[in-house]
Structure 1
Amino acid sequence: MIYLRGMNTIILVLIVSNVLVSYKGFQDILFFNRYKFQIGKILEGEKLRMITSGFLHGSWLHLGLNMYALYLFGSIVVNHFSTTNFLLIYFGSMLAGASYALYRNKNDHYYSAVGASGAVIGIVFSAIMLYPDMELILFPIPIPLPGYVFGIGYLLYSIYGMKEQLGNVGHSAHLGGAMGGYVLTIFLKPYVVNNNILMIIVMGAIIAGLLLFGDRLERGFK
């Protein structure tokens, strides 16, 4: 069982930053539009949006869910990494999520999104790789699942959700964030491969298949 011993300073800083920036966005639509993720603006050179959009949220519920997940899983991950490496996973996953969303939606210049989900999903996947047997719930299945089952299931669900455009959810950013968390955790802590080598192989195969054959799969879903 994993015990959480209070909130680490860097997690608190990230949560407060998200709350303050999101609140500003709730109150100021011009600020929100200036810094949200928008394909057309990014392709025109406004690359900073790939970071700033990760601190904006669409609602208090959206913000609350992301920050709660960051608190829970960040408290696990931060104990295994230096502050610098923890931030590398967080912002690396954020950029991976934004980059993959940009790639998947590059032809839709009006596509826009906000939220820390890419970064948070990267932290979630890092935690799963550290503790593959932790119990998690993959909605809408109300049954606790081992972390490795959750991780693999989440990847497959997100791929399907992206192809079918399920809900008002940035599935591509979630997938990119998961990829970032997966790659960076292995790079920084190679021993995690031994925690559950089958999980690492299956996740790696899914990610590689998505990167190599994603366009073909998309055509197959249409």
Structure 2
Amino acid sequence: MTDMNTQNSPDPSDWQGLAEQESPINKPEMPSQTPPNGIPEQPTSAPAEQQTVFITPQTVSPILSYLIMGLTILFFIGQQLSSYLFDADLILVFFAKVNPAIVSGELWRLVTPVLVHGGIIHIGLNMYALYILGRDVESLFGHGRFVLLYLLSAFGGNVLSFAFSEAISVGASTAIFGLIGAQAVFIGKNRKIFGNRARQMLFRIGMILLLNFAISVVPGSSIDMWGHLGGLLAGAVFSILAAPKLEIARKDGRLILADKTAKTDIFMAFLMVLLAFGVILFFAIRKAKGL
């Protein structure tokens, strides 16, 4: 079993007030007056003043993040009950990433490990990371894209783990690293909106990734580096096309940050990532079978 560790995400306050837009506000024209000499003066207007306007993006309530957390916790409770009643963790037996079982056709094991954890610290760290990252990403990506992102990241992480690691593996870290990759791409795509904060936020994400990968290569570490890497790649590649592309627009007389990403781009991104990791899985299974 490999326990997967995840660090905190950038401060969620970074998502608030994403854009600063300078808009000219003209003072009303001064009414013309007729001087004593009878020659009217030309209307004059005051020079435009610049005002900073803070604009926040349109968001949704992150209900799916909470539902996934609840489902994962229920699975963990089931693991404890199974171990107590049957002296065996049957949930781990049937849902963990076990390479021989995947080769024999139990392909659900390429997704279900995100619901299984190796201990209270393992699930505690992952659920805290999901609480921080999931709310931020889902609120901006929307429910549909968030589900696709979470599942693709879990699939990509477990496929790469299957291809390059024989160890039994469990944990939501594959999907969580996908959220980190998606968050980084989102910030990069909208760096003009974030302004100077974009570089700081990307630096923090880079440090989180560097620390996790450094821990994973320490001798004796049980962290599944391939699972983390696969989830990160799946989430990042999906988000290159599918992450929201924010642009300043006007709606009902006010400025908003509107998402200009087309639904066809989201669909194509999903198919592209699914196909890419599907090809890796195909050849990994052939290799495992000695074909």
Give the counterpart of 2:81 among 1, 20, 27: 27
Of the two, which has the highest radius of gyration? 2
Equivalence map 1:211-222=2 (5 Å): none
Equivalent in the alignment of 2:130: 70
Q: Distance in 1 between matches of 2:126 and 2:76?
A: 12
Equivalent in the alignment of 1:174: 228
> Secondary structure of the equivalent of 2:135?
helix
Give the counterpart of 2:242 among 162, 175, 188: 188
> Secondary structure of the equivalent of 1:58?
coil
- Could you list the per-position Cα deviations for residues 144-169 of structure 1 after superposition, in whole angstroms to 9, with x for gaps in the alignment? x9332344455556666666665111
Q: Distance in 2 between matches of 1:166 and 1:185?
A: 33
Equivalence map 1:82-161=2 (5 Å): 82-105=142-165, 108=166, 111-131=167-187, 146-153=200-207, 155=209
Q: Distance in 2 between matches of 1:189 and 1:80?
A: 9
Taking structure 1 as the reference length, the TM-score comes to 0.70
Identify the range of structure 1 (118-127 vs 162-171) with the bigger mean alpha-carbon deviation. Answer: 162-171
- For structure 2, the 5+ residue unaligned runs are 1-13, 17-58, 83-88, 247-279, 281-291
> Secondary structure of the equivalent of 2:118?
coil
Paired letter, 2:228: H
Aligned residues: 178
- Could you list the per-position Cα deviations for residues 174-197 of structure 1 after superposition, in whole angstroms to 9, with x for gaps in the alignment? 1111101101111203748xxxxx
Q: What's the RMSD between the two structures over aligned residues? A: 2.8
Q: CA deviation at 1:48?
A: 0.8
Cα pair 1:7 1:71 within 8 Å, conserved: no
Q: CA deviation at 1:40?
A: 1.4
Q: Distance in 2 between matches of 1:100 and 1:161?
A: 19
Q: Distance in 2 between matches of 1:36 and 1:80?
A: 31
Q: Distance in 1 between matches of 2:112 and 2:215?
A: 25
Cα pair 2:76 2:117 within 8 Å, conserved: yes
Q: CA deviation at 1:14?
A: 0.5
Cα pair 2:97 2:162 within 8 Å, conserved: no
Paired letter, 1:2: W
Q: Aligned pair 1:14/2:74, yes or no?
A: no
Cα pair 1:90 1:119 within 8 Å, conserved: yes
Paired letter, 2:133: F
Q: Distance in 2 between matches of 1:83 and 1:39?
A: 31
Paired letter, 2:69: I
- Could you list the per-position Cα deviations for residues 75-127 of structure 1 after superposition, in whole angstroms to 9, with x for gaps in the alignment? 1111222311110011100001001101112xx3xx20110100011112222
Q: Distance in 1 between matches of 2:236 and 2:168?
A: 25
Cα pair 1:155 1:175 within 8 Å, conserved: no
Q: CA deviation at 1:59?
A: 0.9
Taking structure 2 as the reference length, the TM-score comes to 0.54
- Could you list the per-position Cα deviations for residues 196-219 of structure 1 after superposition, in whole angstroms to 9, with x for gaps in the alignment? xxxxxxxxxxxxxxx9xxxxxxxx
Residues 8, 22 of structure 1: alpha-carbon distance in 2 compared, 3 angstrom cutoff: same
Residues 158, 39 of structure 1: alpha-carbon distance in 2 compared, 3 angstrom cutoff: farther
Cα pair 2:61 2:139 within 8 Å, conserved: no
- For structure 1, the 5+ residue unaligned runs are 135-144, 193-210, 212-222
Cα pair 2:91 2:116 within 8 Å, conserved: no
Name the one with the larger strand percent. 2
Q: CA deviation at 1:56?
A: 0.5
- Could you list the per-position Cα deviations for residues 51-85 of structure 1 after superposition, in whole angstroms to 9, with x for gaps in the alignment? 22110001121111111111111111112223111
> Secondary structure of the equivalent of 1:180?
helix
Residues 165, 38 of structure 1: alpha-carbon distance in 2 compared, 3 angstrom cutoff: farther
- Could you list the per-position Cα deviations for residues 18-54 of structure 1 after superposition, in whole angstroms to 9, with x for gaps in the alignment? 1001221232212321211111111111111112211
